[in-house]
Amino acid sequence: MRKKIIAGNWKMNMTFDEGQKLTSEIVNMFKDENITDVQLVLNPPFPHLHPVKKLIGDTKNVFLGAQNCSDKESGAYTGEVSAKILASFGVTHVILGHSERREYFKEDNSLLTEKVKQVLANGLTPIFCCGESLEIREAGTHEPNVKFQLTDSLFGLTAEEIAKVVIAYEPIWAIGTGKTASSDEAQQMHQTLRKHIASKYGQEVADSISILYGGSMNAGNAADLLSKPDVDGGLIGGASLKSRDFITIAKSY
């Protein structure tokens, strides 16, 4: 059975005190409300990793993630953080290829391939993001465009390796715009991605991979989106900064 995953991407938000308060609220709500069949992944900015990990403690099904990592193992790369370093802090998941990294920092598929390899080599789970802009969606080329992102970055992996990857589909036109893909549109793209993986690795592998929706999922639309058979969770932005909203999403299955 595929894992149900709700991952919170804090992006560049939260001071130390704010992050501590948010984490404490989420962890306590998660335990108090007896949520047992969903995994939470908290992805704060790098300086929060150790203090957030301490608050998570040994809470079952709550994991620590990072928002990015280097494509290099170690060395003279000022300002970068390696997967090896992240693993030493108790990180278990790493977001890679987020649309903001692709757009603002010009990360391309070949770079993301190397990052995925580093994450896997250190026993961590990549949350690999893919998605299309409004221009591509309106041109009707969104399916081949997003499939190419998978092919170019991930299809050099072995079946055993890709089975360890979590995919996050981001309709970029629905991030921070107030728009969201309908649940049927989300299902169509998730199904397309799963079929594309199956074409390379077989149906059994494709059926084992969790595909998250990353297009402004919130407490109001989560239940509808998560009701779809190929939507296995969410990569949550703004709503992950509000503890009640984040937990409501986790309870929306």
pLDDT tens for the chain, 253 residues: list them. 899 999 999 999 999 999 999 999 999 999 999 999 999 999 999 999 999 999 999 999 999 999 999 999 999 999 999 999 999 999 999 999 999 999 999 999 999 999 999 999 999 999 999 999 988 988 999 999 999 999 999 999 999 999 999 999 999 887 767 676 899 999 999 999 999 999 999 999 999 999 999 988 999 999 999 999 999 999 999 999 999 999 999 999 8
Q: Determine contact, residues 178/219, Cβ cutoff 8 Å.
A: no
**SS3 of 48-100:** HHHHHHHHHCCCCCEEEEECCCCCCCCCCCCCCCCHHHHHHCCCCEEEECCHH
> Does the annotation list 173 as a binding residue?
no
> Does the annotation list 216 as a binding residue?
yes
Mention every residue, 6+ apart, whose C-beta is less than 8 A from residue 132.
141, 142, 145, 146, 171, 172, 173
Q: Which domains does the chain have, with CATH numbers?
A: 5-250 (3.20.20.70)
Tokens of 225: 């989106």
> Does the annotation list 3 as a binding residue?
no
Q: Determine contact, residues 233/5, Cβ cutoff 8 Å.
A: yes
* pLDDT for residue 204: 98
Backbone φ and ψ for 234, nearest 5 degrees, come out as -145, 145
pTM: 0.97
> Does the annotation list 43 as a binding residue?
no
Compute the half-sphere exposure of residue 149: CA atoms within 13 Å on the CB side of its CA.
Answer: 25
Region of 178 (left: φ > 0; alpha: ψ -120 to 50; beta: rest) is left
> CA dist 199 to 151, 203, 206, 210, Å?
11, 8, 9, 17
Residues labelled catalytic: 98, 170
CA–CA dist 193, 128 (Å, integer): 12
Give the 3-state secondary structure percentages of the chain, helix then strand then coil, rounded to 5.
50, 15, 40
> Does the annotation list 237 as a binding residue?
yes
* pLDDT for residue 249: 98
